Structure 1
Amino acid sequence: MTPLPPPDPGFISGIAIDTRFTASGTPVVTLYPPHAHALNAGVGSAMLAIASRLGLRYGRHLPRTGEYIYDLYEGWFLDYGHPRDVLHFTPDFLWPHVVRGAGGAVVAVSLEHEPRPVEDERILTGRLALRRRAPRTWRPAR
């Protein structure tokens, strides 16, 4: 996948975040553009840039990304590659407890307007480790 620059926080504010579990109980955080059409090249490129920065791969193969999901006092964060801003999200009630117990989560970027597209070539996935300390000063993008 070609490296692309990460989108700015203005784009990120339109991204929806779904925190659920796989059938086996693995925690998953999915980023998707809820109001985008499949043929919108700008949205597709921005979502691919996020997936590229996170080191994700097509399908449900779950490679280790080398990136992290952060469990900090202020909330949950995902560094999506922007130099200053991170994606702040509020997970479902049980989800944080499972992530803490598992030491990480699966991350997915959907290229469709829904969190779980039927076709594997419309979703990019990987595994994130859990960290409890931020590596730098961040500004939450949402």
Structure 2
Amino acid sequence: THLLFLHETGSNNPSGIPSNMDKIPFHPYYTIKDILGILLLILALLALVLFSPDILGDPDNYTPANPLSTPPHIKPESYFLFAYAILRSIPNKLGGVLALVLSILTLLIIPFLHTSKQRSMMFRPLSQCMFSLLVADLLTLTSIGGQPVEHP
């Protein structure tokens, strides 16, 4: 999908001002570059899977399961920790689910609010600050989601 949109609209330059000067054809330059990048990623993934498959695994996966007791330190994978923190911070189950859905819908609505022809954030200090705040919020929620559960 990314390559299709890149081929259709072209990439933007850092100033955000469209320019038809100094363009090179998409094929063969970028297709060869992208195929080489994909092959290198596949090679790195194969090396990781074949030579050290347990390097990214959780050590708790190797402890024998006890069906009579649930361990207190269960937490989701790292890429779901921000959502886990949102769900855990609101005591009402429905409220937590609504907060999580609204946080995801907010991220989906943001691109439709952008109506300017300029595609760069170089001359938009408010957008840069909001993006930095978004990254800081996600990192904070991820950190909070990884902490052990404490009852208030």
Q: What TM-score results when the alignment is normalised by the length of structure 1?
A: 0.21
Structure having greater relative contact order (Cα 8 Å, sep ≥ 6): 2
Structure richer in strand, relative to its length: 1
Structure number with the higher helix fraction is 2
The structure number with the bigger radius of gyration is: 2
